[in-house]
Amino acid sequence: MIKYITYNSFNCRSGHALKDIFTCYILASVVDGLEVLPQENWNANPSCGWGYDQRIINFDTSESQSMLDEGDLIKINIKEPEPPQWNGMSFEYFSNLKRQIEEAPQGSIVVLSRTTRVLFHQLTDWYNKKLIERDLFADVLLVLRNLYFKDHEPKTIDCLSIHIRRGDVADPDHRLNQYMYWAVDHFEQAIVSFRKLHPHVPIYIFSENKLSDDLKVLERHDNLRLVLGDINSLKEDIDHMISSRFFMPCNSGLSTWVSYISRGEIIISKDKEIKHFHREHVW
């Protein structure tokens, strides 16, 4: 028998959920004989209390969910880091977790939860600090892209897609407003700059239909379409952004994962920070 790993993901937003879920794939890349068991709640879940759910990757749970439900595996629940590590676990915690998994008996399933997460950019940081022998980022990036493209025909839409986060962070009283919200003027300047290089390429702007009225001023630009969607259009909007010839992310977990999967050209703002974003390899 072999060992398995899974994640009891309760973070409904696509960006947050994949940060948690892909910690399993990262650990499977460094522990021999460790396989990832996806759960049904890793996929779109209409009952999610926040009204958001993970719609970037469609995980195949046809076999794994029955293995989880049968209860024949030895369950090992991993205690999450304290305090919660929203910015990723320490290397010391990662090393101890790796050792704990290696010492687990065959036929066991390691269950992660809450903020037991490794972020993609940490892999390169650890490699640059000589804490690990090779940079694992390229390995897990390939896994991510393979999972997406098994259900999608690779294609290129000749356009620039811009993701602008609105909704909750556009509320001035929201705790994330000060650093997650980018003013419309920033995108106005980006569009003008892009048009100088690509005057005829169509532009699509994707955002939420909540607290996004300020973006309507951008419709004055020729050959530009403003797409203000909701949970029902999210999957289609994600697929369009991933397939775009050019993609411009914002400070959003959704933007980050679209950038990782995309095979188009990623246009990054030089004067803005995208939290937890890995720049080093693919850009």
pLDDT score, position 185? 95
pLDDT value of position 281: 52
CB 178 within 8 A of CB 197: no
CB 240 within 8 A of CB 161: yes
What pLDDT score does 178 carry?
74
Q: What's the pLDDT at 139?
A: 92
Q: Which residue has the tokens 């986060």?
A: 165
Residue 274, pLDDT above cutoff 70: yes
Query: Backbone phi, then psi, for 227, in 5-degree steps?
Result: -110, 105
Could you tell me the pLDDT band of residue 17, with boundaries at 50, 70 and 90? Answer: confident
Q: Give the single-character DSSP code of 201.
A: S
pLDDT digits (tens, 9 = 90+) for 93-134: 999 999 999 999 999 999 998 889 999 999 999 999 999 999
Q: Give the pLDDT band (50/70/90) at residue 43.
A: confident
Q: Using an 8 Å Cβ cutoff, are 237 and 161 in contact?
A: no
Does position 279 have pLDDT exceeding 70, yes or no? Answer: no
pLDDT at 55 over 90: no
Is a pLDDT exceeding 50 seen at residue 218? yes
Percent above pLDDT 90 for the chain:
65
Q: Would you place residue 47 in the very low, low, confident or very high pLDDT band (cuts 50, 70, 90)? A: low
pLDDT of residue 280: 61
Write down the pLDDT at residue 221: 97
165: left (phi over 0), alpha (psi -120 to 50) or beta: beta
Q: Which of 90, 93, 12 is nearest to 45 (CA)?
A: 12
> Residue 2: pLDDT band by 50, 70, 90 thresholds?
confident
Under DSSP, the state recorded for 47 is T
Q: Give kind and range of the element (H or E) at residue 204.
A: strand 203-208
| Cβ neighbours of residue 101 closer than 8 Å, sequence gap 6 or more | 3, 5, 27, 31, 34, 110
Flag whether pLDDT at 165 surpasses 80. yes
Mean pLDDT of 232-259: 94
> Which tops the pLDDT comparison, 132 or 278?
132
> In the prediction, which pLDDT does 9 show?
67
SS3 at position 36: strand
The predicted pLDDT at position 271 comes to: 84
With vertex at residue 111, the alpha carbon angle to CA 110 and CA 116, rounded to the nearest 5 degrees, is 110
Q: Is the pLDDT of residue 61 over 80?
A: yes
- Any idea which of 28-32, 135-139, 144-148 has the lowest mean pLDDT? 135-139
Q: Does 283 have pLDDT greater than 60? A: no
Q: What is the mean pLDDT of residues 231-255?
A: 93
Are the beta carbons of 190 and 266 closer than 8 angstroms? no
